[in-house]
Amino acid sequence: MRKFLNIVGILLVFIVGAAAALGFYNDYDVQKRAAVKPADPNVLVLRTPEARFETLTDFPFEPNYINIEDPTLGTLRVHYLDEGPTDGEIILLLHGQATWSYSFRKMIPIFTAAGYRVIVPDLIGFGRSDKPADWNSHSFQKQVDWLDATLKQLDVYNSNAFLFDWGGYFALRLLAADPKLFSRLILVTTTLPRANSLFAAAWIAGWRRYIYGPEEFPISAMVSEMTGTDIDAITINGLEAPYPDESYKAGPIRMPMMIPATTLHPTATQNREAWKKLKGWDGPAVTMLAESIAERGFNPQEFYDQMPGTQGQPHQIYPGMGFFLIEDVPEELAEATLEFIRQNPTPPE
């Protein structure tokens, strides 16, 4: 018995020590970036000059704007694309970190040619949308709230949701609150982060230190390093267009600290509760991700275990590709999405 208690004691000391070390490890990152303040404290929100987007030769879509309200920042302008027939069934495309609606440029024409209406908002802090200047103005809950306000104002409901990366993190929270928000899910390199393993916590801590290493926060470099194919100068220009300088990057910079590494992060509890609510969501859902990613932290099995609607679907694994599938194989993703929708027709009322 004493030997057992000694083992338990050693394990407890190890766990507490690991947690303390992890906390210190993360605190380094927080302090490093928290020191970055807006150049002008009187300017709460930045807006990228339109001239930055005039050089995008591969992005011919007309910009659209709506305003949403934030209780502390006031009115925020949200950019979105609205392509295809106005009476067409909606496909909603949501981007993640280091990307914006630009990364869907090769997918949109495929969807519209098939008769769908395609709506693509830029998250606050990204693309042509407004950018709160202080990184403390960005949080997981804020992004959920901003997305909620955006979808309500655009009247996007019961739509086909193509959720990539952080777009899925935020949208799945909304789906947990309203199970009828989306009719079908296309889950592309995404999850609902819940701080549910020590391995994930260590990986997140290491990722934060890695991503915060360079003096300039890497936007196009992040995409370039995490694709299976080379991206060209035109694409690099498109990815960098929203950010004239570092002061415009508070949203992307904040994201590594928004993801819950441990249960001490307030988002961990909120996301765990949302995950419980998603248990049994039975709408059609399909996963698409790179083989390397499926083996390193984005195991699609968690969706198969959670959502009955994933059963029998044409899930896709792409060998040799990277995290940013929307840049690697956009046309393939679009065609696979259309096939998934066709295989899961809307039930008659």
Say which residue, 199 or 109, is predicted with more confidence.
109
* Confidence category of residue 4, pLDDT binned at 50, 70, 90: low
At 88-145, the pLDDT tens digits run 999 999 999 999 999 999 999 999 999 999 999 999 999 999 999 998 899 999 999 9
Say which residue, 2 or 219, is predicted with more confidence.
219
Say which residue, 35 or 290, is predicted with more confidence.
290
Closest-CA residue to 91 (of 100, 81, 102): 81
Report pLDDT for 314. Answer: 95
* Confidence category of residue 204, pLDDT binned at 50, 70, 90: confident
Say which residue, 339 or 40, is predicted with more confidence.
339
The answer, yes or no, to whether residue 280 has pLDDT greater than 90, is no
> How far is CA 168 from its chain centroid?
5
Number of H helices, E strands in the chain: 13, 10
* Confidence category of residue 197, pLDDT binned at 50, 70, 90: confident
Residue 316 DSSP one-character state:
E
Say which residue, 342 or 298, is predicted with more confidence.
342
Mean predicted confidence (pLDDT) in 221-236: 94
C-alpha–C-alpha distance, residues 349 and 341, integer Å: 17
* Confidence category of residue 1, pLDDT binned at 50, 70, 90: low
Question: Across the chain, what does the average pLDDT equal?
Answer: 89
C-alpha–C-alpha distance, residues 125 and 47, integer Å: 9
Residue 102 DSSP one-character state:
G
Residue 251, judged by CB atoms within 10 A of its CB (0-12, 13-18, 19+), counts as: buried
Report pLDDT for 200. Answer: 77
At 46-104, the pLDDT tens digits run 999 999 999 999 999 999 999 999 999 999 999 999 999 999 999 999 999 999 999 99
Torsion of CA 330, 184, 274, 291, to 10 degrees: -40
Helix (H, G, I), strand (E, B) or coil at 62: coil
Closest-CA residue to 31 (of 204, 289, 212): 212
C-alpha–C-alpha distance, residues 197 and 118, integer Å: 37
Mean predicted confidence (pLDDT) in 306-323: 95
Report pLDDT for 5. Answer: 52
* Confidence category of residue 34, pLDDT binned at 50, 70, 90: very low
Q: Which domains does the chain have, with CATH numbers?
A: 38-343 (3.40.50.1820)
Report pLDDT for 6. Answer: 55
Report pLDDT for 230. Answer: 92
Report pLDDT for 3. Answer: 61
84: left (phi over 0), alpha (psi -120 to 50) or beta: left
Residue 311 DSSP one-character state:
T
The answer, yes or no, to whether residue 323 has pLDDT greater than 70, is yes
Q: Percent of the chain having pLDDT more than 70? A: 89
How many CB atoms neighbour CB 34 within 10 A? Answer: 12
For residues 121 and 78, is the Cβ–Cβ distance under 8 A? yes
Mean predicted confidence (pLDDT) in 259-281: 91
- Find where tokens 């970190």 sit: 97
Report pLDDT for 42. Answer: 84
Mean predicted confidence (pLDDT) in 298-321: 94
Report pLDDT for 31. Answer: 47
Report pLDDT for 29. Answer: 46
